[in-house]
């Protein structure tokens, strides 16, 4: 994977853009962080993308208002990564540049780009 990342303009509906990360091999900066992801490398400077995440934070009870949700998104750690699946696994695993799991060095299948956002509350 090259160090140059192309950010896409996202055309998905905001409600279906973000998901809670339940995958493997991502080490958050804080044990109290909330981790969300979306498929592809997307530009978090787009209002609709930030708004969808801020709204989800409010619906999930992490923020008490949409404004606080936007504030949390502004301070978030953003990672542009690649993930795949171990054979027979349902949850994705973060991969290295060779398409292997980081800890176990198992070759992953179904590799895809993702934008992972760590919200520190």
Q: What is the pLDDT of residues 58-70, one digit of tens each?
A: 999 999 999 999 9
Q: Where on the phi/psi map is residue 43: left (φ > 0), alpha (ψ -120 to 50), or beta?
A: beta
CA distance 43 to 7: 5
pLDDT confidence band for 103 (50 / 70 / 90): confident
Domain assignments of the chain as residue spans, ordered by start: 14-119
- Give the model's confidence band at 5: pLDDT under 50 very low, under 70 low, under 90 confident, else very high: low
Segment 41-56 shows an average pLDDT of: 92
| Structure token digits, residue 16 | 């279906």
Query: pLDDT by residue (tens digit) across 73-88?
Result: 999 999 999 999 998 8
Instruction: Report the alpha-carbon distance of residue 55 to residue 35 in Å, rounded.
Output: 15
Nearest to 83 by CA among 32, 22, 15, 14: 22
Q: Are 20 and 93 in contact (CB under 8 A)?
A: no
């Amino acid at each position: 994977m090259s160090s140059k990342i192309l950010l896409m303009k996202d055309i998905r509906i905001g409600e279906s853009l973000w998901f809670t990360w339940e995958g493997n091999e991502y080490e958050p900066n804080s044990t109290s962080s909330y981790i969300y992801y979306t498929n592809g490398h997307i530009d978090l400077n787009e209002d609709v993308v930030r708004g969808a995440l801020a709204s989800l934070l409010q619906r999930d009870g992490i923020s008490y208002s949409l404004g606080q949700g936007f504030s949390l998104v502004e301070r978030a750690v953003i990672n542009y990564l690649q993930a795949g699946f171990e054979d027979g696994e349902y949850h994705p695993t973060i991969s290295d540049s060779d398409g292997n799991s980081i800890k176990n060095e198992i070759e992953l299948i179904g590799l895809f780009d993702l934008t992972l956002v760590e919200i520190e509350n």
